C-alpha cells in the first residue's frame, strides 16, 4: 500500500520550493537601516560618501543614518524624492538653493511665501530649531528638532537625499 506523504515531508518540500524562489533584487536605499545587518551601522555607498565629504562642515560629518531616522519626524508631511507629492507640507526635493515658499501648486502661508530667502543649511537649521519662532504665523505644525547633533545629521541626510549639488 502507498501511504500518503507524511506531513513533515510535505512541509520540508514546501520550504524547499520557497527557497528556490528568486530573491528580490537589492534595490534598497543607501541607508535603509532596516536592511542593514545587525552587526553594525550601514556604510553609505561610495557615491554617497563622496557627496557627504563634499558638504560644508559640520554637515560633512553628519551621521546620515541617524538623519534618516530623524526624518521619520517629517515623513508624515513631506516627501523628498524627485517629483514626490506635496502632502501636508511641500515636496522637499531640491530644497537647498530653492527660494522659500516656491513649490508650485503648494499653498504656503503668507510668512513662508514672502520670507524672501533661499534655503541653505543655516536657514534650515534655524527653521528646524524652532519653526514657529523662526517664521511666526507659518502653518508647519511641528515643534522642532531640539538636539543640535540630530539637526546636523538630518540636514546632512537631506542634502544627500534631496539632490543637493556640491558647492550649490
By the criterion CB under 6 A, which residues form the site for ligand HEC? Answer: 73-74, 76-78, 88-90, 92, 95, 100-101, 103, 108-109, 112, 119, 124, 127-128, 138-142, 145
Tell me the β-bridge partners of 118.
Answer: 99
Q: Which is nearer to ligand HEC, 42 or 100 (CB)?
A: 100
**Minimal distance in Å, beta carbon 55 to ligand HEC?**
16
Which three cell numbers mark 95? 530644497
Q: How far apart are CA 130 and CA 100, in angstroms?
A: 16
**Minimal distance in Å, beta carbon 78 to ligand HEC?**
5
Q: Which is nearer to ligand HEC, 37 or 137 (CB)?
A: 137
Identify whether the C-beta of residue 44 lies closer than 8 Å to the C-beta of residue 52.
Answer: yes
End-to-end CA distance of the chain: 79
**Minimal distance in Å, beta carbon 27 to ligand HEC?**
25
Q: Which is nearer to ligand HEC, 36 or 73 (CB)?
A: 73
Identify whether the C-beta of residue 131 lies closer than 8 Å to the C-beta of residue 138.
Answer: yes
Amino acid at each position: 500500500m502507498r501511504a500518503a506523504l507524511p506531513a513533515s515531508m510535505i512541509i520540508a518540500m514546501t520550504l524547499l520550493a520557497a527557497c528556490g524562489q528568486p530573491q528580490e533584487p537589492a534595490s534598497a536605499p543607501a541607508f535603509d537601516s532596516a536592511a542593514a545587518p545587525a552587526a553594525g551601522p550601514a556604510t553609505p555607498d561610495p557615491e554617497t560618501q563622496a557627496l557627504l565629504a563634499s558638504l560644508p562642515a559640520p554637515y560633512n560629518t553628519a551621521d546620515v543614518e541617524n538623519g534618516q531616522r530623524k526624518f521619520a519626524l517629517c515623513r508624515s508631511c513631506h516627501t523628498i524624492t524627485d517629483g514626490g507629492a506635496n502632502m501636508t507640507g511641500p515636496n522637499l526635493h531640491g530644497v537647498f538653493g530653492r527660494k522659500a515658499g516656491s513649490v508650485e501648486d503648494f499653498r504656503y502661508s503668507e510668512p513662508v511665501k514672502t520670507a524672501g530667502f533661499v534655503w541653505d543649511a543655516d536657514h534650515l537649521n534655524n527653521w528646524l530649531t524652532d519653526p514657529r519662532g523662526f517664521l511666526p504665523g507659518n502653518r508647519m505644525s511641528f515643534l522642532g528638532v531640539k538636539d543640535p547633533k540630530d539637526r546636523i545629521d538630518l540636514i546632512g541626510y537631506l542634502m544627500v537625499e534631496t539632490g543637493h549639488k556640491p558647492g550649490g
